[in-house]
Structure 1
Amino acid sequence: MSQTALNRIYITLSGLVVAFIVLPLAIIVWSSFFANRILTFPPSGYTLDWYRRAWEMDAFRDGFLVSMQTAAVATCISLALGIPASLAIVRYPFPGRDFIQTLLLSPMIVPGIVGGAALFIAFIELEVLFDAQIAGTVGGLLMAHSLIALPWTVRLVTASLTGADRSIEEAAASLGASPLVIFRRVTLPSIRSGVIAAALFSFVISFIDLEKSLFLVGPGRTTLQIALVNYLEWNLDSTVAAVATVQIFIIGALLIISDRYAKLSRVF
Structure 2
Amino acid sequence: MRYVRRLALNGAATVALGYILLPLVFIVWLAFYRQEIPSFPPEGYSLRWFAAIFDQRKFADGFTLSFEVGLIATAIGLVLGVPAALCLARRDFAGSAPLGSLLLMPLIVPGVVLGTAMYVFHVELENALDVDVIGTLAALIAGHVVIVIPWIVRLVTASLAGVDRATEEAAQNLGANRWMTFWRVTLPAIRPGIVAGGLFGFVTSFGNLEMSLFLVGPGRTTLPIVILQYLEWKIDPTIAAVSVVQIALIAAVMLITDRYVRLARVV
Q: Which amino acid counterpart does residue 144 of structure 2 have in structure 1?
A: H
Distance in 2 of aligned mates of 1:166 and 1:199: 24
Q: Which amino acid counterpart does residue 255 of structure 1 have in structure 2?
A: M
Long gaps (5+) in structure 2: none
SS at match of 2:10: helix
- Alignment correspondent of 1:27: 26
- Alignment correspondent of 2:134: 135
- Alignment correspondent of 1:94: 93
- Alignment correspondent of 2:208: 209
> How far off its partner does 1:254 sit?
2.1
SS at match of 1:37: coil
- Alignment correspondent of 2:245: 246
For the aligned residue pairs, the C-alpha RMSD in angstroms reads 1.0
> How far off its partner does 1:242 sit?
0.2
- Alignment correspondent of 1:72: 71
- Alignment correspondent of 2:163: 164
Q: Deviations over 1:22-50 (max 9, x none)?
A: 11101100100101111222211111111
Q: Which amino acid counterpart does residue 258 of structure 1 have in structure 2?
A: T
> Residues 1-268 of structure 1 correspond to what in structure 2 (within 5 A)?
2-268=1-267
Q: Deviations over 1:192-217 (max 9, x none)?
A: 11111101100100000001111101
**Which sits farther off after the overlay, 63-72 or 249-258?**
249-258
Poorly superposed stretches of 4+, deviation over 3 Å: none
Q: Deviations over 1:27-85 (max 9, x none)?
A: 10010010111122221111111111112211111101111111111111110000000
After TM superposition, the score normalised by the length of structure 2 is: 0.98
Long gaps (5+) in structure 1: none
Q: Which amino acid counterpart does residue 20 of structure 1 have in structure 2?
A: Y
Q: Percent identity?
A: 47
> How far off its partner does 1:258 sit?
2.1
Distance in 1 of aligned mates of 2:249 and 2:165: 36
After TM superposition, the score normalised by the length of structure 1 is: 0.97
SS at match of 1:233: helix
**Which sits farther off after the overlay, 169-178 or 189-198?**
169-178
**Which sits farther off after the overlay, 161-170 or 119-128?**
161-170
